[in-house]
Amino acid sequence: MQTVKQIRSLLSQAGLRPQRRFGQCFLIDLNLMGKLLELAEIAPAAVVLEVGPGSGSLTEELVCRAGMVVAVEVDRGLCRLLYERFAGRERLTILCCDALAGKHRLAGEVIEALGPSADLVSNLPYDIATPLLAECLVGSWRALRGQGGCRFNRLTFTVQREVADRLAARPGGGDYGPISVLVSLLGRLSLGSAVPASAFWPKPKVASRMVRIDFDPAAAQRLGDIDALNALLALAFGQRRKQIGSIRRRRKAAFVPAAMDAAMEESGVDRSRRPEELKPETYLVIANALAASRSPLAWDKRLD
> 304 falls in which pLDDT band (50, 70, 90)?
very low
Beta strands in 161-298 (DSSP E): 187-195, 200-201, 208-215
Domains of the chain: 4-220 (3.40.50.150), 226-293 (1.10.8.100)
pLDDT value at residue 253 = 72
What distance in Å separates the CA atoms of residue 212 and residue 214, rounded to the nearest whole number? 7
CA distances from 233 to 150, 215, 224, 248, 300 (A): 23, 20, 15, 13, 9
Could you tell me if 93 and 20 are in contact, meaning their C-beta atoms sit under 8 angstroms apart? no
**Could you tell me which residues are beta bridge partners of residue 157?**
122, 211
> 299 falls in which pLDDT band (50, 70, 90)?
very low
What is the pairing mode between strands 187-195 and 151-160?
unpaired
Q: With pLDDT > 70 as the criterion, what percentage of the chain qualifies?
A: 96
What distance in Å separates the CA atoms of residue 172 and residue 240, rounded to the nearest whole number? 11
Closest-CA residue to 104 (of 131, 129, 81): 131
pLDDT value at residue 252 = 66
Residue 65: DSSP 8-state: H
Predicted confidence (pLDDT) per residue in 29-61, tens digit: 999 999 999 999 999 999 999 999 999 999 999
pLDDT above 90: residue 23: no
What distance in Å separates the CA atoms of residue 25 and residue 126, rounded to the nearest whole number? 9
Q: Which of 117-121, 154-158, 174-178, 246-250 has the lowest mean pLDDT?
A: 246-250
Predicted confidence (pLDDT) per residue in 80-129, tens digit: 999 999 998 999 999 999 999 987 789 999 999 999 999 999 999 888 99
What distance in Å separates the CA atoms of residue 254 and residue 145, rounded to the nearest whole number? 23
Question: What phi and psi values does residue 19 have, to the nearest 5 degrees?
Answer: -105, 115
pLDDT above 70: residue 148: yes
What is the pairing mode between strands 26-27 and 200-201?
antiparallel
pLDDT value at residue 251 = 63
